[in-house]
Amino acid sequence: MILDCFFVMLAVKSVWQYYVPSRETLVMLDVFKRMVNDSIRIGLVNDVSSLRKLSLLAYNQLAYYDSPSCFKLCAISRAAGILAARKKSLKRGFPTRQPYAVRPFLASCYSFKVKNGGLEIPISREKRLSLPLTKHTLDMISRPGVEVRSFTLTRNRLSLSISHDAPRIECVSTVGVDRNLRNLTVGNEIRTSRYDLTETVRIAKTTVRIVASFRRDDARIRTGLASKYGEHRTARTIHLLHKTTKTIVAQAVHQRQAIVLEDIRGIRALYRKSNGQGRKYRGRMNGWSFGEAQRQLEYKAGWVGLPVIRLSRRETRGSSMSCPRCGERLQSDKRLGR
């Protein structure tokens, strides 16, 4: 296969692994969380959301924290991002609560090294901490042209943001991806393929039934168990979508077809309470992972240099009511529903 390149595009994705945190690591995560929350508090008091102004106000006040200066700058940057998102929501008229970081974490793009099979990060002026990397992680970051941009630590997970310059593929045709509740349908005028995702619906239904069966009086225990089952459901759903989207991108690269996606943001407004639908139906539709499917398709296509075309709502308006081949109207009356 020959790839004709007009230009090179920067492709970014992440690779993650589990790790066993030490006591020093846990302390460092908690300190970083408190620095982020202090920076958010300072930004709210002074009505500041830009990185430059927040840095001038917050950096000196974070001096009493026993942490490298690079982490203080990253904490301020993270707080500025949270404040900017809050300001954007308020401009759009959405009510927001006072933001704060809940879980301990650490994110930085400074002063780290990948050395001797591990990730070395500073914890003081003269001391560095080494976190061992798995074989898969080392294989991903050691590939030609791959650069590690930043890292993120939580209590048990290490994530590395990596990038490389991907030659853009010159495509000879396009292929559309229709995201549905039970399948992903991929096709154009020549060929159409359907990838079954019924298993994701079954997983969601089983999880809901199990959580609804809890009878423990302690709400905290019920919440903790429900959270674990929810995380398990999410992991299984993401894995099924990963296998499907990987196949779709590989086929598109092989046939040199650009991927076309429609804009279905806001579709959950169709499944709100008092819309005349049943509770189970709304729960099933609101558990539809159409955003996760788009995220996976975009980053996987970008990593190999495959173009992704996003159609606007105006361009796809009414497309579900007509046949994509002959153009004949499929529904004679809008009141019949979708």
- DSSP label of 149: E
Q: How many domains does the chain have?
A: 2
Nearest to 32 by CA among 72, 3, 69, 2: 72
Q: Which domain does 80 fall in, by range? A: 8-167
How far is it, in rounded angstroms, from Cα 263 to Cα 261? 7
Q: Which residues pair with 286 in a beta bridge?
A: none
Look at residue 221 and tell me if it is in a domain.
yes
> What's the confidence (pLDDT) of residue 332?
52
> What's the confidence (pLDDT) of residue 137?
95
Are both 69 and 101 inside the same structural domain?
Answer: yes
> What's the confidence (pLDDT) of residue 20?
93
CATH of the domain at 331: 3.30.420
Are both 177 and 99 inside the same structural domain?
Answer: no
Are both 223 and 146 inside the same structural domain?
Answer: no
Residue 280 host element (H or E)? helix 279-286
Which two three-digit tokens encode residue 301?
A: 């296509």
Look at residue 323 and tell me if it is in a domain.
yes
Are both 144 and 269 inside the same structural domain?
Answer: no
Are both 50 and 136 inside the same structural domain?
Answer: yes
Look at residue 86 and tell me if it is in a domain.
yes
Look at residue 96 and tell me if it is in a domain.
yes
Place of tokens 């529903």: 337
> What's the confidence (pLDDT) of residue 269?
79
Look at residue 257 and tell me if it is in a domain.
yes
> What's the confidence (pLDDT) of residue 127?
87
- Say if residues 17 and 158 touch (Cβ distance below 8 Å): yes
> What's the confidence (pLDDT) of residue 235?
94
Are both 190 and 148 inside the same structural domain?
Answer: no
Are both 141 and 180 inside the same structural domain?
Answer: no
Are both 154 and 180 inside the same structural domain?
Answer: no
Last residue of a domain, one of 139, 167, 195: 167
Digits of tens for pLDDT over the chain (338 positions)?
333 444 777 899 999 999 999 999 999 999 999 999 999 999 999 999 999 999 999 999 999 998 999 999 999 999 999 999 999 999 988 888 899 999 999 999 998 999 989 999 998 877 899 999 999 999 999 999 999 999 999 999 999 999 999 999 999 999 999 999 899 999 888 889 999 999 999 999 999 999 888 887 888 888 889 999 999 999 999 999 999 999 999 999 999 999 999 988 878 778 888 878 888 888 888 888 889 999 999 999 999 999 999 988 777 776 666 665 666 766 555 444 44
How far is it, in rounded angstroms, from Cα 320 to Cα 334? 11
Last residue of a domain, one of 121, 146, 167: 167
DSSP for 205-249, written as a single string: HHHHHHHHT---S-HHHHHHHHHHHHHHHHHHHHHHHHHHHHHHH
Look at residue 2 and tell me if it is in a domain.
no
Distances, alpha carbon 315 to alpha carbons 111, 261, 326, 329, in Å: 47, 11, 18, 17
SS (H, E, C) 157-208: EEEEEEEEEEECCCCCEEEEEEECCCEEEEECCCCEEEEECHHHHHHHHHHH
Look at residue 198 and tell me if it is in a domain.
yes
Are both 215 and 327 inside the same structural domain?
Answer: yes
> What's the confidence (pLDDT) of residue 197?
93
Q: What b/e sequence results for 257-267 when a residue is b if at least 16 CB atoms lie within 10 Å of its CB, and e otherwise?
A: bbbbbbeeeee
> What's the confidence (pLDDT) of residue 331?
59
Are both 196 and 317 inside the same structural domain?
Answer: yes
Query: How many C-alpha atoms does 148 have within 13 Å on its Cβ side?
Result: 25
Are both 35 and 142 inside the same structural domain?
Answer: yes
Are both 145 and 185 inside the same structural domain?
Answer: no
Last residue of a domain, one of 104, 139, 167: 167
